[in-house]
Each structure stands twice: as structure tokens, then as C-alpha cells.
């Protein structure tokens, strides 16, 4: 059954934590079965890492990306098993866009797990560790942030990269330029400008070498027309053509994530409920700030699954 006012959304990096989905896995074997499938694709015990590993290892980009994709796909499979309705639209934040494409039937799961590990490695090596930085900026409008980034860049790169919600934008680039810009933004009236604990300047023009590597990896991978339309980060629109989807995935690495636009596109299409499939509630919080009338629920525990199924059947 399709539900026209429902969208499923998939989280990106930052939502991972040791022990995630443990309760859900106890109640529903499909969770560990999905992790076992990913483990076979990557040749290590991913579930053991997620449950018993170190947070530091989980936070390494090349580990985080396959782990979060697997967690989201596992929750989607459980959703289907529980007879949750098919959404009218799907979307994911950064890495989450790959999760959305797997769940929409455009990418094979095994291919996607290997692909996002390669993506993570490419993103990590595009800029040497310590040379890049990201900072979250609160309480200043987008145009002002963009202007100050241009003003402060100097010989470096600093760009607005994640338009997460009204009044929350992430900037990224060379570490010195980001730190300088964060101070200038605070002086211009930003409530906060906080450096993020990440190891690379994601979604900046500095990530173009990673885009080239992803393009190579994508050459060997088959992409199909999505069974459920996916709203893409680059232009906040849906795309049906497989070759265009590949282009958007490459471009996404070095382009801003237009999350506000993605949510607005879903709302304009009649979406009233978003279900966040995967660990945490980051997107649920952002979605609510973008459009207060949205009913935003998440699924990462047995209780939240029950609540989400009740919300969509109401």
C-alpha cells in the first residue's frame, strides 16, 4: 500500500553510536540478517563492530558510511516486514541518499555497501587529516553566511555546505579559513559557530578528487530507475534516469546538501509525515524546524517502531 502523505528519510554521518539498534535486533532477526549480508560484502563482522567496537573506529568515515547505510536498510526491511506503507517519496542527508536509493530499488544493497566504503575512503584522502574543518552556524541567514565565507576565504576555501534548517548552516573548508570565518560569523551576530568533530571538509569544492574516484567506482555499478522517487541533495528534486542519478551522486560529494529544499519539495508534494529510518532523531528535529506542521517520527527501537506504525495508520 502506498501512502501519499508519507516520506521516509535516512540519516547521514553523525547518527552512529556503539550499541545502536540492539533492542530492535533482539526483537527482529531481520536487523542482524541485514548486517550479516553487509559483513559478507565487506569481509568483516559489522554487527560486532557496531555493538562491541570503539566509538572512535565507528567514527572513521570509511566505517561510518557502510554502517549507517546498513542500519537504515535494516530498518527499511523491518518496516516492510511489519507491513508499513510504502512512502510517496524518499530522501537522505548526504550518505543517507545512498540508503534512500537502495530502499527505493535503484541500487543493489551489496553494491551500495562497497560503494559507500569507497566513497568514505575517497572523502577521507581528498584532504590530508588536520587540513580541513567544518563548523555549524546558528542564528544567521543564509545569504549573510555565504557573504562572510567569501569575504574570509583569502587564499583558502570556506563554503556553506549543509543547509540543514532555517538558521542552521554548516560551513567547511581549509581549517584556518573555517576558524577565521567562525569568529567573523559570531562577530556578525551568529548565536553560535561551533567546530564539528569531523576529519574532512565534506561537500566542499576540495572534495572534487573524491568525486572523480566515486565516478570510477560507479562505472562498475548498475543503477535502476527508483521504484519510489528519491529527492536528491544537489537540486532538491527527484530523478528517474539511472545515468542522471549517477551524475548527482558524484556531484553531491563536492556540492552543498540542500536539505531545507528537499523537505520543502516533499511538503509541496503533499507529505505530512516523515519517518526517519535509522539511528537517532537528527533529521526528525531538522524537518520539524523546516516545516512545523510536519509529523516527524523515527524508527530505531521497538517502541519507536510501534509509534511510527501507529502514526502512519492514523
The residues annotated with a catalytic role in the active site are 94, 203
CA angle 282, 284, 286 (to 5 degrees): 70
Spell 107-137 as b/e; 16+ CB within 10 A means b. Answer: bbbebbbbbbbbbbbbbbebbeeeebbbbbb
CA dihedral 25, 197, 114, 233 (to 10 degrees): 100
- Cα–Cα distance between 19 and 32 in angstroms, integer? 13
User: End-to-end CA distance of the chain, in Å?
Assistant: 14
Amino acid at each position: 500500500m502506498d501512502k501519499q502523505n508519507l516520506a521516509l528519510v535516512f540519516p547521514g554521518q553523525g547518527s552512529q553510536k556503539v550499541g545502536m539498534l540492539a533492542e530492535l535486533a533482539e526483537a527482529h532477526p531481520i536487523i542482524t540478517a541485514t548486517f550479516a549480508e553487509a559483513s559478507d560484502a565487506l569481509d568483516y563482522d559489522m554487527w560486532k563492530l557496531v555493538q562491541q567496537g570503539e566509538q572512535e573506529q565507528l567514527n572513521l568515515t570509511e566505517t561510518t558510511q557502510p554502517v549507517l547505510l546498513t542500519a537504515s536498510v535494516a530498518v527499511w526491511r523491518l518496516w516492510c516486514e511489519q507491513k508499513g506503507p510504502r512512502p510517496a517519496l524518499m530522501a537522505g542527508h548526504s550518505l543517507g541518499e545512498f540508503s534512500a536509493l537502495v530502499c527505493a530499488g535503484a541500487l543493489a544493497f551489496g553494491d551500495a555497501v562497497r560503494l559507500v566504503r569507497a566513497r568514505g575512503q575517497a572523502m577521507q584522502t581528498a584532504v590530508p587529516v588536520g587540513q580541513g574543518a567544518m563548523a555549524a552556524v546558528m542564528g544567521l541567514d543564509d545569504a549573510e553566511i555565504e557573504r562572510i565565507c567569501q569575504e574570509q576565504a583569502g587564499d583558502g576555501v570556506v563554503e556553506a555546505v549543509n543547509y540543514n534548517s532555517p538558521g542552521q548552516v554548516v560551513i567547511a573548508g581549509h581549517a584556518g579559513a573555517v576558524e577565521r570565518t567562525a569568529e567573523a560569523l559570531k562577530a556578525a551576530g551568529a548565536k553560535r559557530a561551533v567546530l564539528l568533530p569531523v576529519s574532512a571538509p565534506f561537500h566542499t569544492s576540495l572534495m572534487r578528487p573524491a568525486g572523480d574516484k566515486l565516478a570510477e567506482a560507479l562505472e562498475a555499478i548498475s543503477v535502476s530507475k527508483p521504484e519510489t522517487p528519491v529527492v536528491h541533495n544537489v537540486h532538491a528534486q527527484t530523478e528517474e534516469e539511472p545515468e542522471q542519478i549517477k551524475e548527482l551522486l558524484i556531484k553531491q560529494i563536492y556540492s552543498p546538501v540542500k536539505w531545507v529544499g528537499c523537505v520543502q519539495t516533499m511538503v509541496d508534494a503533499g507529505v505530512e509525515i516523515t519517518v526517519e529510518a535509522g539511528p537517532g532523531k537528527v533529521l526528525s528535529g531538522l524537518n520539524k524546524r523546516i516545516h512545523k506542521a510536519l509529523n516527524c517520527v523515527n524508527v530505531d527501537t521497538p517502541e519507536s517502531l510501534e509509534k511510527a506504525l501507529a502514526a502512519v495508520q492514523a
